[in-house]
């Protein structure tokens, strides 16, 4: 079977796990619940136990396993210290050392968004390139930067916090981060709904959204595809601010490709075309041809990236 490794994606509800060949083939994936009782005291033990059980279950040779990679929802230092995971209950946690002690294998940890970006570069939408910037559009807006095959974390672990770029200069509401005008306020699923409601409240223009109780970002895209004026206006606003943000990033990073993931990315080519239109308009001329593509690994990007971490 050759050399193997494990990739772990730690989430607030479940821990996704995968067994990989070092060449990048996913042999098996599974999940275990994230036990957050007592400030996440059982999480490392549960992960280690699941890995060791999988080794026994598949009669794997321990000498064939190169290690365990893990993505966590928080900043991670170069020495493998997680600087707090609010939704797990952790404070500073030496996750690499603890998981190594429990399993006996080398461990490498990284921030989950950065790790997902690495996964997309390795075996996903960015495969074949050496650099990418990934933007995840979900409840919030996250991101990851990989240059020359290496994750860029920054001095404060904040590289890739694309959702908190200031792009909406006339925004009056405050973002969860404490600033005003963040990309996340217009480009997240929550922000899309908020912007649509603002447009609806600003006039009496006909819109099918008025008849949808508690409409979602998906509803906005569905109606925009049908030509609904308010929905189209909302999607255009989203595309414009994402285009501006990616244009700013291109001037600094100049990646081979931009990858768009997260739940909002299920809008597909309609979303990509809208972003690309504004990106081409707003970016530096030498960067206009940089492709903007959809992520392809979905919820598995984290385990792929985590596996790649430990292989590296």
Please give the mean pLDDT across all residues of the chain: 93
Q: Would you state the pLDDT for residue 1? A: 66
251 pLDDT band (50/70/90 cuts)? very high
pLDDT (mean) for 282-290: 96
Distance (Å, whole) CA 219 – CA 240 = 19
pLDDT (mean) for 233-243: 96
Q: Is the pLDDT of residue 226 over 70?
A: yes
Nearest-CA neighbor of 307 among 3, 54, 8?
8
Which residue(s) pair with 146 in the sheet?
A: 132, 151
Q: Would you state the pLDDT for residue 13? A: 86
Residue 215 main-chain phi, psi, to 5 deg: -65, 155
Range with lowest mean pLDDT among 38-42, 200-204, 213-217: 38-42
Which residue(s) pair with 93 in the sheet?
A: 82
pLDDT tens-digit profile of 131-170?
Answer: 999 999 988 898 999 999 899 988 777 888 899 999 999 9
55 pLDDT band (50/70/90 cuts)? very high
Distance (Å, whole) CA 263 – CA 247 = 22
pLDDT (mean) for 59-88: 89
Q: What is the tally of helices (H) and strands (E) in the chain? A: 10, 12
Q: Is the pLDDT of residue 69 over 90?
A: yes
Residue partners of 231: CB distance under 8 A and separation at least 6: 196, 207, 208, 209, 220, 221, 222, 223, 224
Q: Is the pLDDT of residue 177 over 90?
A: no
Task: Find where tokens 């910037």 sit.
Answer: 133
pLDDT tens-digit profile of 26-46?
Answer: 999 999 999 988 888 899 999
Q: At what angle do helices 189-201 and 217-225 cross, to 10 degrees?
A: 60
Q: Is the pLDDT of residue 101 over 90?
A: yes
């Amino acid at each position: 079977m050759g050399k193997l490794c494990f990739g772990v994606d730690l989430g607030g509800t479940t821990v996704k796990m995968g067994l990989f060949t070092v060449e990048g083939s996913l042999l098996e994936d599974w999940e275990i619940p994230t036990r957050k009782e007592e400030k996440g005291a059982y999480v490392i033990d549960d992960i280690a136990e699941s890995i060791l059980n999988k080794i026994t279950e598949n009669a794997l040779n321990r000498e064939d396993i190169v290690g365990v990679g893990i993505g966590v929802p928080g900043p991670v230092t170069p020495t493998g210290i997680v600087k707090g995971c609010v939704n797990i209950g952790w404070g500073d946690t030496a996750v690499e050392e603890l998981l190594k002690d429990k399993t006996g294998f080398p461990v490498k940890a990284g921030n989950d968004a950065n790790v997902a970006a690495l996964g997309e570069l390795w075996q996903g939408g960015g495969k074949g390139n050496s650099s990418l910037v990934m933007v995840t559009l979900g409840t919030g807006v996250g991101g990851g930067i990989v240059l020359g095959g290496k994750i860029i974390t920054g001095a404060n672990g904040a590289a890739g916090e694309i959702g908190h770029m200031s792009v909406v200069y006339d925004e009056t509401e405050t973002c969860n981060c404490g600033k005003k005008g963040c990309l996340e306020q217009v480009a997240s699923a929550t922000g899309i709904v908020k912007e649509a409601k603002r447009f609806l409240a600003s006039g009496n223009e006909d819109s099918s959204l008025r008849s949808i109780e508690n409409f979602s970002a998906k509803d906005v895209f569905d109606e925009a595809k049908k030509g609904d004026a308010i929905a189209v206006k909302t999607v255009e606003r989203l595309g414009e601010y994402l285009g501006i943000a990616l244009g700013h990033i291109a001037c600094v990073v100049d990646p081979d490709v931009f990858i768009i993931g997260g739940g909002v990315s299920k809008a597909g080519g309609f979303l990509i075309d809208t972003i690309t239109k504004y990106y081409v308009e707003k970016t530096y001329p030498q960067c206009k041809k940089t492709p903007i593509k959809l992520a392809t690994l979905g919820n598995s990007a984290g385990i792929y990236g985590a596996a790649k971490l430990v292989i590296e």
